[in-house]
Amino acid sequence: MPDLAVISRWEALALALGFFFVIVWNLVRGRIRLTGLLSGDRAGGGTYFSWGRAQLLAVSLFTAGQYLFRLFQDPSKFPEVPNTAVALFGGSATIYTGEKLWAMVLSRSGNSTRRNP
């Protein structure tokens, strides 16, 4: 009879793969729209490619992948989140926030179509 840990590992893998396939299926069918995912809004109403969002998404996916990999190596306990991952998220969020601040607040000063009350 298989060990409980082996059965749990296969069940967790099946659940994760099920989530993955449902998300991919909905992406293919168009139920999950990704338009504008990496776009930012300017103060004047325009949009731009947001490097801050792109790097935040990349950091999130990379860290989640590492965490899942370590979880499947030892499913008996949740792995600890390393301090470097927390610092990486903090730095990534700071870069995103700085870019958002630049686009929404600081780019207004160069807008010549603004009316004075």
Do 18 and 40 have their domain in common?
no
Quote the tokens at residue 104. 């929404």
pLDDT in tens, 66-107: 988 888 788 778 899 889 999 999 999 999 898 888 887 776
pLDDT in tens, 27-77: 999 999 888 888 887 777 788 888 889 999 999 999 998 988 888 788 778
Structural domain that includes position 56: 35-109
Tally of domains within the chain: 2
Do 15 and 67 have their domain in common?
no
Predicted confidence at residue 108, as pLDDT, reads 59
Do 43 and 65 have their domain in common?
yes
Residue with tokens 């999130």: 60
Q: Across the chain, where does the E strand assignment appear?
A: 39-41, 47-49
Do 82 and 104 have their domain in common?
yes
Do 46 and 13 have their domain in common?
no
User: How far is the CA of 26 from the CAs of 32, 33, 37, 48, in angstroms?
Assistant: 6, 9, 16, 26
Question: Torsion angle, CA of 87/93/94/96, rounded to 10 degrees?
Answer: 150
Do 21 and 39 have their domain in common?
no
Predicted confidence at residue 24, as pLDDT, reads 94
Do 89 and 41 have their domain in common?
yes
